[in-house]
Each structure stands twice: as C-alpha cells, then as structure tokens.
Amino acid sequence: MFTGQIPEIDWEHGDDLCDCTFQRIGYWTNPYLARTLKIRLCCAWKVLAEQNPEIAALMQEIPAYDDYNGKRWVSEPAAWDSKEADMPRALWHRQLSIQQEKPLEQVRREYDHLEPPRRVRHGHTAKV
C-alpha cells in the first residue's frame, strides 16, 4: 500500500482499473510536505462493507437514479446527452452492463472494439 515510490499507474476518476459501479478516488496532496495520498474509496468501501456488517448496514446502493429535481426515482439509464464531451468508455461499459444485466468484464470484452456515444450536436440525443 504505502510503497514510498511514485506509482507507475496514475489513478484517476473513470480510469476503469476496478469494477466498482461508482469509481471514486480520494486525493489529497500538499506541496509543503511533498506528499500525496490517494485512496480508491470505491474499493475500500466495498472491502469494509464485506468485512463489517455494521458498516454494510450504513451503505445503500439503490438500483435507480435519484432525480431530485423531479422528485422521483428513475430506474432506466439515461441516454448520453452531453454537448461538451463524448461518453467515457468506463461509464459506457457500466451503463451497458446494467442495461443488459451482464457482468462488467463480459461487456468490456464484447464492446472493446466499438466506440462509446459521442457528444450530442445540434440538439440530437445520442443513441444507446
């Protein structure tokens, strides 16, 4: 864990280096200490929950999106509708995994040769 060396692989959000639904990297750095701490929070939470039932009781993964503006739960993944960026491959693979009810690793293999949805142009919605 604490190697005292600069890692060869730089973790970043959406890097697809784990199978967690929500990839989250905790990141703290300080130039006055010349130290940086990174934690794959998504994986750490999973391990903590598996090892500690009392922690697992404090976590919820809900199979729906909380549309707090619409005050409703949405259980179908939304189509990519960003006008600024293409859909990140890691996010696309997770979306397909949920839509098709397939393991993430299988989706990665089946869709590796295809490109994720592109940014939306001129008011069109990307096809899923």
Confidence of residue 97 (pLDDT cuts 50, 70, 90): very high
What are the tokens at 31?
Answer: 């130039």
Q: Cβ(121)–Cβ(83) under 8 Å?
A: yes
Q: Cβ(59)–Cβ(45) under 8 Å?
A: yes
**In a 10 Å sphere around its CB, with 0-12 CB exposed, 13-18 middle and 19+ buried, how is residue 80 labelled?**
buried
What are the tokens at 112?
Answer: 């590796």
User: Average model confidence (pLDDT) for the chain?
Assistant: 91
Look at residue 37 and tell me whether its pLDDT is greater than 60.
Answer: yes
Its pTM stands at: 0.78
